[in-house]
Amino acid sequence: MIPPAFEYLRPNTIPEAIALLQQHGEDAKILSGGQSLIPMMKLRIARPGYLIDINRISGLSYIKEEGGFLKIGGLTREAELESSAVIRAKYPILLDTAHVIADPQVRNLATVAGNLAHGDPANDHPATMLALGAQVVATGAGGERIIPIEEFFLSLFSTALQPEEILTEIRVPAPPARSGGAYFKLERKVGDFATAAVAAQVTVDANGAAQKVGIALTNVGPTPIKAKKAEDFLRGKKLDEANIRHAAQLAADDAQPSSDLRGPAEYKKGLVKELAKRALSRAAERAGK
Amino acid sequence: MAKKQLVSVKVNGREREAAVEPRLLLVHFIRESLQLTGTHIGCDTSHCGACTVVLNGKTVKSCTMFAVQADGGEILTVEGLMKDGQLHPLQEGFKQEHGLQCGFCTPGMLMSSYALLHNNPTPSEDEIRRGISGNLCRCTGYQNIVGAVQYASGKMAEGKMAQGGAK
């Protein structure tokens, strides 16, 4: 399959890239990992007139802890999450997520920021970042602005990023002591989108009661879904089997799946319930409740 | 038509270049501009991994990347595995352990296995299966491919020991 013709632009700095975005407006797309954009261009679902390749901009690829946040650069690849010592030691939910995205070759190119900026509710990091309460840094001509992840996903393939902005960093608040998280996904085969998936991140107090709870769902609605009822229910409660089971039911109630080739809506709701149960149990276990 | 751009790459140790349209996919550049047809096009949708090559030390699906993106980079394709008339231990392994039947997926399998062994010379069976999870094979059921990678891993360890012993 041959993608439609486009002009290829390769800026060396962020200001250069933003100037190109301003010049070409909505006819331009940012090319980072390209693992969603290029397949869409080959299918001619996307037909940008200009591709602005940001891969040669230096200083955009990093994973670091700074000022109470884990900071992930705009060009950091999924494979880099998998091999990062800090991710392995302190952010098991991010490791869970990176592990089940596509396959090794795709993860070598695909970026975490692209996984969010694409605005696809079938992508995996959106739910994980919702559960973690992350922030997105958008850089435009006027400088940086910070968008809470809860306000980022507007509708199918549409985000709060403006056409002349670039997602340059993701900030995850450093989890306090006694925190844990997990991501559970069911896929038909390696590399497929989730039939459904659930991200859960919890912090418990000394008595094992949940202080902070983040739960979010993948590919069961037009946007990634924050399971607010389940979160509210669990806050202040012990993460025991009965409470987790009830919260999992509330999460399933919040899901809005549609029937498709991955299964009927009812099946997907049931799946969310089971995956939520597993994700919450693993998160609680990792928090050392 | 967008104007052509010059792409210069080092492929299997040789400097190559060609002027191409930006929309030319890396796999078409390799197969048509460079006439290296060992790299295959299978699904053309980023699933099957037959087009896998090693770019700057990392495996990529060359059907899901533009040639212009690889400009200035170093590429290893299946043609670059053999050295001094000797098969690479992986190629030998695929032959000895019957790691192929029709052979269509083999170039991609070899490149993924090559990168896997480069990063992890003695992978477990699980790690091998995970390492080749982006490559589909419709013939073998994967069992003999895993065996072939294990064969190569052993052979390469022997090679290293022999080299060490000669010092």
3-state DSSP: chain A helix, strand, coil percent, rounded to 5? 35, 25, 35
How long a stretch of residues is chain B?
A: 167
The answer to whether A39 contacts B130, with C-beta atoms less than 8 Å apart, is no
- Contact between residue B111 and residue B146 where contact means Cβ atoms under 8 Å apart: no
pTM: 0.96
For chain A, domains (ranges, CATH) are 7-52 (3.30.43.10), 63-173 (3.30.465.10), 179-283 (3.30.390.50)
Contacts of A42 in chain B (CB under 8 A): 44-45
- The per-residue pLDDT for range B47-71, each reduced to its tens digit, is 999 999 999 999 999 999 999 999 9
Sketch the domain layout of chain B as residue ranges.
Answer: 5-79, 89-166
Q: Are strands A196-204 and A210-218 parallel, antiparallel or unpaired?
A: antiparallel
Which residue in A20, A10, A13, A21 sits closest to A161, CA to CA?
A: A21
Contacts of A51 in chain B (CB under 8 A): 22, 66
DSSP A220: S
For B53, the token pair is: 């090559």
Contacts of A189 (CB under 8 A, 6+ apart): none
The answer to whether B23 contacts A2, with C-beta atoms less than 8 Å apart, is yes
What is the rounded CA–CA span in Å between residue B53 and residue B36? 12
For B108, the token pair is: 């991609």
Indicate if the pLDDT at residue A50 is higher than 60: yes
The answer to whether B64 contacts A106, with C-beta atoms less than 8 Å apart, is yes
Indicate if the pLDDT at residue A289 is higher than 70: no
**Predicted confidence band of residue A68 (pLDDT cuts 50, 70, 90):** very high
Mean pLDDT of A223-249: 98
Using an 8 Å CB-CB cutoff, list residues of chain B that contact chain A.
1-2, 5, 21-23, 25, 44-47, 49, 52, 58-61, 64-66, 68-69, 112, 130-131, 133-134
**Burial (CB count <10 Å: 0-12, 13-18, 19+), residue A105:** buried
Helix (H, G, I), strand (E, B) or coil at B31: helix
Indicate if the pLDDT at residue B160 is higher than 90: no
What is the rounded CA–CA span in Å between residue A41 and residue A43? 5
The answer to whether B59 contacts A105, with C-beta atoms less than 8 Å apart, is yes
- In order of A130, A174, A199, A289, the CA distances from A89 in angstroms are 21, 13, 18, 18
- In order of A65, A168, B19, B91, the CA distances from A177 in angstroms are 16, 28, 56, 50
What does the pLDDT read at residue B165? Answer: 57
Q: Is 0.90 exceeded by the ipTM?
A: yes
Give residue A248's identity as a one-letter amino acid code. Answer: A
Phi, psi values for residue A229, rounded to 5°: -60, -40
The answer to whether B134 contacts A79, with C-beta atoms less than 8 Å apart, is no
- Contact between residue A258 and residue A245 where contact means Cβ atoms under 8 Å apart: no
Mean pLDDT of chain A: 97
For B139, the token pair is: 């013939």
Phi, psi values for residue B52, rounded to 5°: -60, 130
Mean pLDDT of A148-160: 97
Residue with tokens 């650069």: A73
Chain A nearest-CA residue for B28: A2
Q: What's the CATH architecture for B5-79?
A: Roll (3.10)
- Contact between residue B65 and residue B51 where contact means Cβ atoms under 8 Å apart: no
- The per-residue pLDDT for range A178-209, each reduced to its tens digit, is 999 999 999 998 889 999 999 999 999 999 99
The answer to whether A106 contacts B23, with C-beta atoms less than 8 Å apart, is no
Mean pLDDT of A78-101: 97
The answer to whether A31 contacts B69, with C-beta atoms less than 8 Å apart, is yes
What does the pLDDT read at residue B167? Answer: 45
Measured between CA atoms, how close is A188 to chain B, in angstroms? 13
- The per-residue pLDDT for range B114-153, each reduced to its tens digit, is 999 999 999 999 999 999 999 999 999 999 999 999 999 9
Contacts of A190 in chain B (CB under 8 A): 133-134
Residue with tokens 């407006």: A25
The answer to whether A103 contacts B134, with C-beta atoms less than 8 Å apart, is yes
Q: What's the CATH architecture for B89-166?
A: Orthogonal Bundle (1.10)
Which residue in B32, B40, B39 sits closest to B16, CA to CA?
A: B32
Measured between CA atoms, how close is A234 to chain B, in angstroms? 36
